[in-house]
Structure 1
C-alpha cells in the first residue's frame, strides 16, 4: 500500500471517529474517493491534512486533528500545535503519529495538560476502524443526566458499575474520559439484545 492510499484510509477512520463523537464534518470530506484524495494530496507535507471540526451541540467545543511530518514528533511541532490551538481557542487535539513522540515531547505534553488535551494515535491504529468489526458491540456514551438517571434507577453508586479502562481501544476511539459511563449493546441468542454499562476508569 503506497503512502497516499494509507493516509486516505487513516483519514477516513478519523472522519468517522469525529462523526461518532458528534462533531460536524463536511459531507465532501466524508464522501471523498481515493482518486480525488490522491489528486489533492501532493505527498509532500502531511500538514495539508489538518482538520478543525466543531461539536454539533456546542460550536465552541472544537477539536484539531494534526498530521505531523516527522517520524517521531518533537517539542517544536508540539509548540506549533499549541500556538495554533491558543489562537483558535481550541483545547483539544488528536495527533496522528508515525512512530510516537520523543521523550522531550512527552514531557512537554505532560506539562501542558490538562489545559490542552492531546490524544495520540499511531497510523497503524487508524488504518482500520475497530468499531466496524463484527466482534465490537455498539458503544454509546451517556450524557450526565442519563448517567444520573441510570444510577438512580438501579440504586447504584458510581463505584458499583463494572469498569472500562480509559486506555481501552474503543474508549480511546470515542474519546471517553474517566468518570463517563458507556452503554454497551451486544446481540444475544436468547434475549435478542443484551445491554451492559461500564464506568470509564
Structure 2
C-alpha cells in the first residue's frame, strides 16, 4: 500500500466519522455520504485530492438556518501544526457565509497561539485531530447511548428527584463523547445503558 493510498484510507475513515458526528447532532446527512466506499471517495474527490476538497456545509434537519461548516485545515508550507494564518482564513470564510459554528479537522493540531485564537465569543470552533476521528467513539461496546433532554424533560427530572441542576453529575466538555455530540454547558444528558438482567 502506497503512502498516497494510506492517506486516502485515513481521510475516508476521518470523513466517515465526521459524517456520523454530524448525523448524531441532527444535521442533514445521507446514508450514502456516511457509507461512501473508497472507490466512490476517489471518484468524488480525485486521486490527488487536497484536504481543502473535503470542505462542507450542513444544515440542521429541523432548521435549515442552523448551519455548520466542516473545514479540513492545511498547515502553512514547511509547518506541521496549524498557526493563526490558516485559522484567520477559516474565520473569514465563516463570516462571509454567515455561519458561526465549525468543525476544524487537522492532521497535527494547533500552535499555542492558534489555540487561544479559537476561543471566540460569537463563533464556535471545535478542533479535532485526524487521530481522534479514525474511529467513532460512540460505536464502542462500552459507550452507552446518550440523549440530550429538552428543557421540559430537564425540568421534569429536576422536579422528580428534587435536585438543583448543580447537583447533577457532571460530564467534562473534553470528554470524547461530549465532543462527538457537541454537548453544551447547561444541557442535561440521559444515558441509556442496556439492562444487566435477562429474563
Q: Same fold (TM over 0.5)?
A: yes
Q: Is the 8 A contact 1:75 1:104 kept in 2?
A: yes
More strand by share: 1
Q: How far does residue 27 in structure 1 lie from its aligned partner after superposition?
A: 4.1
The Cα shift of 1:23 comes to 0.4
Gaps of 5+ in 2: none
Q: In 2, distance between residues paired with 1:103 and 1:164?
A: 25
| Equivalent residue in structure 2 for 1:47, among 44, 52, 73 | 52
1:20 maps to 2:24: yes
1:34 shift after superposition: 1.1
The residue that corresponds to 2:96 in the other structure is 87
Please report how far the alpha carbon of residue 31 of structure 1 lies from its aligned counterpart in structure 2 after TM superposition: 3.3
SS at 1:52 equivalent? strand
In structure 2, C-alpha distance between the alignment counterparts of 1:27 and 1:185, rounded to whole Å: 24
Q: 2:142 corresponds to which residue? A: 135
Judge conservation of contact 1:5–1:38 (CA < 8 Å) in 2.
Answer: no
Give the structure 1 partner of residue 66 of structure 2. Answer: 61
Using the size of structure 2 for normalisation, the TM-score is 0.89
2 CA distance for matches of 1:181 and 1:18?
A: 20
CA distance in 2, matches of 1:14, 1:46: 14
| C-alpha separation in 2, matches of 1:173 and 1:106 | 19
Aligned position for 1:199 = none
Coordinate RMSD, CA, aligned: 1.7
Residues of 1 paired with 2:192 and 2:116: CA distance?
38
Is this contact kept in 2: 1:50–1:66, CA < 8 A? yes
1:128-147 per-residue CA deviation (whole Å, 9 max, x = no partner) reads 01101111111111122221
Kept in 2, the 8 Å contact 1:4–1:43? The answer is no
SS, match of residue 119 in structure 1: strand
Say if 2:102 is the partner of 1:97: no
The range that moved more, 46-55 or 26-35, is 26-35
Shift in Å, 1:184: 0.4
Number of residue pairs the alignment of both structures matches: 190
CA distance in 2, matches of 1:103, 1:126: 22
Is the 2:16–2:35 contact (alpha carbons within 8 Å) kept by the matching residues of 1? no
Alpha-carbon shift at residue 104 of structure 1 (Å): 2.2
Task: Give secondary structure in 1 for the equivalent of 2:193.
Answer: strand
Structure 1 stretches lacking a partner, 5+ long: 193-201
**TM-score, with length taken from structure 1:** 0.88
Contact 1:65 1:94 in 2 (8 A): yes
